[in-house]
Structure 1
């Protein structure tokens, strides 16, 4: 599990631990990793802490080898690590944009490559890319992050096609998440006048964790959409992207800020927990408004059942209509 020291990665690691899994925790922040390991073990799993910067390809390869040496093999690899900058594009430096791209996009590429080195010889394994509605729909103030998530989307589709061509037993899938209540909004580098916040509605990280666990076990599906806001955004972007451009231009700046001032630190170059000497955990400051369930996530996970139900319902309606046109209703049949 990359990005395991906080937020979605932390909640997902804990969820894997609750199944009794052996969980390798990959991230930079030592305080967060130590706390995550304790949670995994208390949940019933086994934890292995590996401190690594996902932007360093060799370090990621070494981390994967360390995991394989400790656990014997790698069954599931989840690419979740990311970095971001909240600012207009013209206020993001070249080095900052590069760093976000290296951590968020190339970190996913390096993680996938490292996982494949261990999975392909066994012809089995699952790679889960943690995506976002922003992998399809860019929004203002997050150009570097949106660009990286778009890149992951294209990369994953190419890789999926290649694995299918080779008839490989290795699977890859992507989970597109909504806005999530994580600590990132208090540690992300920001140049906005207000405090960074997710665009409502906001979901708890456990909603994301549940989806990631399901995707890891059902990776034949190419992707999962989690949250009504994700589904609505992706559908609206497919139908009327120009209209959505204008809507986000009008609302997107205020929707990503709360009253208050930025506290002056970011985790782009150094781990947030190291800078503050404390563990941030999985949840951010939005518990009071965050949603703890996603009906759309259930639909995405159970698309086959929903489809069968709709088909059955449609056939029932056709049969009933046909009987009525013939002058009989089902209650009069003998």
Structure 2
């Protein structure tokens, strides 16, 4: 017995075909949106690739670009089938492909589900990548003359300005590294020399941050040097001057930006799965209602459409049986002897009848 049968008249079939055609092209637009978001996500990752420890995070945007293109192709084909469904001559050429198309849609929905899960699960990987990448970026901030690190200072400064953050975890991360190059230090100055010699690793450390950490909303000019020394500035208290510099770490700011983007894209992919499933179910009703018409030459006659030709249990059992039949290897039956090997053909049936050639 068919699963969820529905009676259709000509008017219902026409309305279903028109509605499906619109839904399929909405799905095409969603596919274009997924493709565009994948490119945008990839560009954003590349812009900050110097502050990211590896390239594993590019897996998600690459999959989004691919699934966006596949969504456009799959739904454009479904829209064309719906457009030609009410013309018997045009529908006849699509009919042999529909079974493979439905199977492909099920596989494609599984791919979309995997991509949606990756959008949520890969967020932890992005967090670890940012943590290690920003740590190295702060360490290489001063190396503006080193090949491969020339633009690290500019990238990190622009990031801190754009995302209103400072350091990796907070602004105190700048106190632990030498972020001023030796070429800009006056080693003849006794104060600088003593500070370098007092450090075990010979680094020039100070309680200062780059200018990009300054908060333009502060009511007083930015204080970026001697942040922990209240007596170094007039009417200054580190505990109350929270608006002077950004207190939020860049790891938290960047992760919030990327995680919100990935969560939004994951939600869009889940919506695409639901929309795709509705489109496939509607197309199944449309095609089965057209195939079950008693008189195909009379479009006014009623017909019946369904989701599955048999019940779910019977369909699953039949599918599993077909799969087992395909993967089952050919085996020789036990107890069955192999056919005898063919004997050499010649003018004599028995080797004893062959003439003996005398030697000598």
TM-score, normalising length: structure 1: 0.21
Structure number, greater radius of gyration: 2
TM-score, normalising length: structure 2: 0.20
Structure with the larger strand share: 1
